[in-house]
A and B are shown apart, each in its own frame.
Chain A
Amino acid sequence: MAVVFPRWTNLLPLIGIVGGPVAAVGGLAGLYFWIHSPKWTDVGYAPPQPVSFSHQLHAGELGMDCRYCHDTAERAAHAAIPATSTCMSCHAVVKTSSKELAPVRESAKTGEAIPWRRVHMLPDYAFFDHSVHLAAGIGCESCHGRVDQMPVLYQHEELSMKWCLDCHRNPEPHLRPKDAITMMGWEPGDYDPATDPHRTRELEPPEHCSGCHR
């Protein structure tokens, strides 16, 4: 009688007994790490804000520069959330009776802060500095995504240490000329950082611990 099952099939039960649990445990572990990874937990995070501010409208349709509101980005570690008075510089005359803007008018009147919810959050032991990244020619878009297309702001990148280091190890693809830093949807075209006359020093993005952890 012909052999229906080849000899190697004798191993199948063993594979099933040993491999099954291994695969199950591995799969569970993989799932566990995946659901704890910033890719799953953080990307897309879009908490409700006290004022339903639309970046799509302001940065996109109206074409406002990022730095009109986040004016300290080039000078300091923090790209400051604008003071209420910045909002009111337009909204004192634009949409003065909008119900949406009531908290802003209230804040301007009382001097109390508007409690914005933080979207991009780094751990306390990581010290990020906006100014040096802008000076190096990294665009806002590289980390924050197409903010001009976000009616509700969400986290676009995972902001994990690996993600930071990927760029620190190979920053060239993300470099822009100085005047395109805040441009959304900028295409590099034939831009070559090496020949940019405005670049006077070599980029040395730190890869050691104290570059970010202090």
Chain B
Amino acid sequence: MSTQREHGYWRSLETWAAGQVHEGAENEFPAGASEPEGLDLGRRDVLKLMGASLALAGAGTGCSVIRKPAETILPYAERPEDLIPGRPMYYATSACIAGSVTGMLVESHDGRPTKIEGNPRHPESNGGTGGFTQAEVLSLYDAERARTPSEGGAEKTLDDVREALEGAAGTLEAAGGAGLGLLVGHRPSPTFQRLLSEIRERFPQSRVYLHDPVHPASRREAAKLVGAEGMRPVLDLSRADVVACFDADLFGLEPGSVRNSRAFAEGRRLERPSDGMNRLYVAEPVPTVTGIWSDQRLRVSARKIQSLLGEVVMELAAQGARGGSGQVEVVEQLRAHGRDETLRAWARELAADLRAHPSTSVVVVGAGQPPAAQALGHLINEMIGAQRRVLAWRDDQVTEHDGGLVELASDLRDGTTTHLVALSVNAVHGTPSSLDMAGALATAEMSVSLSHLHDEMAEASAWHVPVSHFLESWGDWVTPTGETSVQQPLIAPLHSSLSEIEVLAILAGAKGKPRDWVQETAGLDDDSGENAWRKMLHDCIGRADARQSPRRIRPRWNELAVALAEPPQPSSKLELVAPLSSTLLDGRYATNGWLQELPDPITKLTWGQAALMSPATARHLGVGRVERGVQVNRVEKGLLHGDVVRLERGETWVEVPALIVPGVADGTVCLTRGYGRHLPSVEMGANEQGVDVGLFFEAGAPSFLVGVSGTPTGGSELLATTQERGTLVEPLRTAPSQTAPRVRDNIIRETELAEYLQHPDFVKELDVMPEERLHSLWEEPNPVDGHQWGMAVDLTTCYGCSACVIACQAENNIPVVGKDQVLLGREMHWVRVDRYYSGDWDDPTLSTQPVSCMHCENAPCEQVCPVAATVHSPEGTNDMAYNRCIGTRYCANNCPYKVRRFNYFNFAGRNHDDNELLALQSNPDVTVRFRGVIEKCTYCVQRIQAAKIDAKVNGDGIVADGDIKPACGQCCPTDSIAFGNLNDPNSRVSRLKARQSNYGVLTELNTQPRTTYLGRVRNPNPRLG
């Protein structure tokens, strides 16, 4: 509690340094936000323009046709059984998205997939999904998607492709397949693997190359190092009491994050104060969502992670933990390198905590760390007995392969591989410049690239074949825990495309249809399997794969001791860290507008990349400006200017705008992957964005390197960050104290477990106004009968993953506005995920809070609308009648939560003009808003009405608890958003709101919000302070 009072909360360094809200944040929209785009017009000119357009509008209506436009209705000639026109159907399917096998239920309106939901029966989903999964439905309708195969730029047909592939296969077969190469990614798919082994049978001399940025080879090398080749640890965090992540974004970009975050959240629901709570330690160079969720975060550069792990091992050994043969040698080797006193205290307390929870604690080391560091993590897990309950070694599902990119490049150059088929793997973008993959590919006799876009890889290959989306094709997947799940198509391929298994089948010479292959792999292709097959299609889950069952292993550490022999090289130069992008991943989502516009969970940056660095690093480089002794970003007229820095290492250099972010380790510069795309077919956006950081890295190297130098070039670039948008802070009234900016500090309410146990009602302390003093000027509607909708968000389990933002966008036809409009503060997201800092400016604590319309019972917006376009429903929701709205924006002005969005342009129309396929994604149950209309969260009123109508038609009119899940709550990986009927005391939302930690934001304004929050409880280690 005291922590909160002392430090206050702030959104950005600039706020902190100014001791108040800076100009851009205080005004709802930055200067110039309401002026027409691209025109430098004054108020008078605008009025003139308006007069002219009004006159024209009058003329238009006067001559308009009286009857509404004629529409045709096109019924089926033969309607499929069970299909009811206009009524959505849900199909279970699964796919490997961003490296994780995910189960989902896909909503289909009259044959068009429109929305992806989590599948509660699937163990990798449990009803939740990540943001990438939510955005995949837009990738299906991506306007930039390649539409026809091509050879050297000339359009071809799929028959041409088949002919070419079959021809090549025929020629190569004679020589046993010598010269044939296949480039594949991580594909835990039984049918994929079966067809691949058939190819190997047909072409014994062929070679398979594996490259997957989400599943780097370092994981496998680390397992090999400890004698667990072909295995990997799979976590069951529902049993974990202590979890420690070392440079691992376990709940963000690590594969399996949806399963892991749900399981981890179960350990911190705090249904009763006595329930206890797990603890999360995070040591990381750059803040991640996992860092937001942490109870104890250590800011440490990536190169020191290995030393930190070494410290933990030494402390554990000193405390008597035993991890098996070879441990002594490892500890000796670590001691020989000397100890790092700066890390020792943290390591000692962590070690003690891990020891105090034997077999219920686990450590995770990121795949970006070198194999030796990851192996140290395995050693710690063995020393604390993680294998007993929390961790299971299982098959790593890796495709049998002959090499990676390095081998591919050399094989291409020396002619070992003359015919290359790449299956959705981009070997050109994001890969080391030293490999010169494009040059290597040019030497091939025949190269075929199967990919979503006509991308860098397609340019470098002779043939390009569009790949079918997973919603268009058959497949199957095995989860890390061994459940088989089916991928069934919901729509025929929109373009001339092939799926990966179709290409494999051509090479394997397999006959039949993709569905038959999948059915055959499952062993359900005969009549007796028909029922099981249908059940599998319905549930998406089939029988378990025996190879994935956990195996008890006894790792050896001798080789690790050898690997540790070389001491880490100290360097005074900068360290460059290159994690995957939280929005574009490795660049595969570069053309997905929803993800481009999704604010990064930490930096809140959209539409671009920046070199992230701490204030101290920025000062060292001379970036930004100094205010109150702190290096801060330059903000002018509410726009953030990033000073361009030139980052250089040897021959390689890039120029990128810098963004000063507190919480980054000093001496570390972070550039995310996925940018710097060269997409010849894409006209705008993704093409000019950022730089390809992959150029700096050697193949198979860790995702950080030292010895980088940085110099400001003097230039600057505008960065479209939303971090100051909708700031719920009070303007400065008193002189700033030296440490604390004057902001309203009861928006987000947090405490520590020890404090919470004594004061479970800690949130009440921060109420500014006692309830009895809140009076209204007029009689309030406050309806009480029937259904009364409300929402509760548990901040203890929300960690800011932002999947809800995309889910809301997909469900509610929310348009994408583009970088220019985001700069002007016109982004349209109905949910924004606020990220707050508290504490020291150089090493702050991060907190997060999703904010959307609160559906106030005493709503300030309703009171000022001159045309009653926003009014209260008898069920307590704040309705928006778009067709009444005349766009005065009084409501947005009067909304204290800043959750109303205005259509400055016909954004939706623009989106549809840019992409005629987007109409297929639109939700027909939600109005598409036109220019000049305000919109905001409706609590997914279309879902409320659908459930109510269903209850009225088929029941007693009462909606059962759980029947309505708004899009945000449906997809939430940790189930942190509860929605339901407040009049039902047993509904989940009522039970959450009954907790003592329940509070409303800005209740002192007597708004009486229907959305409330459960104050966040952290469980830091009291001995680490």
Chain B nearest CB, measured from A110 CB (Å): 7
Chain A residues with CB under 8 Å of B880's CB are: 209
Q: DSSP class of B's interface residues: helix, strand, loop or mixed?
A: loop
Interface set, chain B 887-922, CB cutoff 8 A to A: none
B883 interface hit (Cβ, 8 Å): yes
A29 interface hit (Cβ, 8 Å): no
A187 interface hit (Cβ, 8 Å): no
A72 interface hit (Cβ, 8 Å): yes
User: Per-position contact with B for A178-214: 1 when CB-CB < 8 Å, else 0?
Assistant: 0000000000000000000000111010101111011
Docked Cα-Cα span, A110 to B76, in Å, equals: 11
Chain B residues with CB under 8 Å of A83's CB are: 75-79
Report whether B883 and A204 are in contact in the complex, using a CB–CB cutoff of 8 Å.
Answer: no
B74, closest chain A residue (CB): A113
Report whether B72 and A118 are in contact in the complex, using a CB–CB cutoff of 8 Å.
Answer: yes
Chain B residues with CB under 8 Å of A56's CB are: none
Docked Cα-Cα span, A81 to B71, in Å, equals: 14
Partner of A116, one of B72, B871, B927, B949: B72
Interface set, chain B 911-954, CB cutoff 8 A to A: 925-928, 938, 941-942, 944-945, 949, 952-953
A111 interface hit (Cβ, 8 Å): yes
User: Per-position contact with A for B65-87: 1 when CB-CB < 8 Å, else 0?
Assistant: 01110111111111100001111
Of A18-26, A41-49, A91-99, A146-154, which binds chain B? A41-49
Report whether B86 and A210 are in contact in the complex, using a CB–CB cutoff of 8 Å.
Answer: no
Report whether A200 and B956 are in contact in the complex, using a CB–CB cutoff of 8 Å.
Answer: yes
With A118-B73, A208-B874 as contacts: A80 and B952 at CB distance below 8 Å: no
Chain A nearest CB, measured from B80 CB (Å): 9
Report whether A76 and B70 are in contact in the complex, using a CB–CB cutoff of 8 Å.
Answer: no
B786 interface hit (Cβ, 8 Å): yes
Chain A nearest CB, measured from B320 CB (Å): 64
Most chain B CB atoms below 10 A, which of A45, A123, A131:
A131
Report whether A214 and B71 are in contact in the complex, using a CB–CB cutoff of 8 Å.
Answer: no
User: Per-position contact with B for A100-133: 1 when CB-CB < 8 Å, else 0?
Assistant: 0000000110111111111001011101010110
Interface set, chain B 680-710, CB cutoff 8 A to A: none
B869, closest chain A residue (CB): A209
B955, closest chain A residue (CB): A201
Report whether B77 and A47 are in contact in the complex, using a CB–CB cutoff of 8 Å.
Answer: no
B80, closest chain A residue (CB): A83
Chain B residues with CB under 8 Å of A129's CB are: 949
Report whether B873 and A210 are in contact in the complex, using a CB–CB cutoff of 8 Å.
Answer: yes
Chain A residues with CB under 8 Å of B949's CB are: 129, 131-132
B653 interface hit (Cβ, 8 Å): no
Interface set, chain B 60-111, CB cutoff 8 A to A: 66-68, 70-79, 84-87
B439 interface hit (Cβ, 8 Å): no
Docked Cα-Cα span, A121 to B67, in Å, equals: 11
Partner of B78, one of A80, A111, A202: A111
Report whether A210 and B877 are in contact in the complex, using a CB–CB cutoff of 8 Å.
Answer: yes
Partner of A76, one of B72, B85, B873: B85
With A80-B85, A125-B882 as contacts: A208 and B77 at CB distance below 8 Å: no
Interface set, chain B 722-779, CB cutoff 8 A to A: none
B72, closest chain A residue (CB): A115
A36 interface hit (Cβ, 8 Å): yes
Report whether B927 and A214 are in contact in the complex, using a CB–CB cutoff of 8 Å.
Answer: yes
Report whether B883 and A213 are in contact in the complex, using a CB–CB cutoff of 8 Å.
Answer: yes
Partner of A85, one of B70, B79, B925: B79
Chain B interface (Cβ < 8 Å from any Cβ of A):
66-68, 70-79, 84-87, 786, 871-875, 877, 879-883, 925-928, 938, 941-942, 944-945, 949, 952-953, 956-957
In order of increasing CB-CB distance, the 9 nearest A-B pairs are: A113-B74, A209-B879, A208-B873, A83-B79, A78-B86, A118-B71, A84-B77, A210-B879, A81-B75
Q: Would you mind naming 6 contact pairs between A and B with Cβ atoms under 8 Å apart?
A: A78-B85, A83-B79, A116-B72, A208-B875, A210-B879, A213-B881
Further contacts, 11 of them, CB under 8 A, given A77-B86, A135-B952, A200-B956: A42-B67, A78-B86, A80-B85, A81-B75, A117-B70, A118-B72, A129-B949, A136-B952, A209-B873, A213-B882, A214-B927
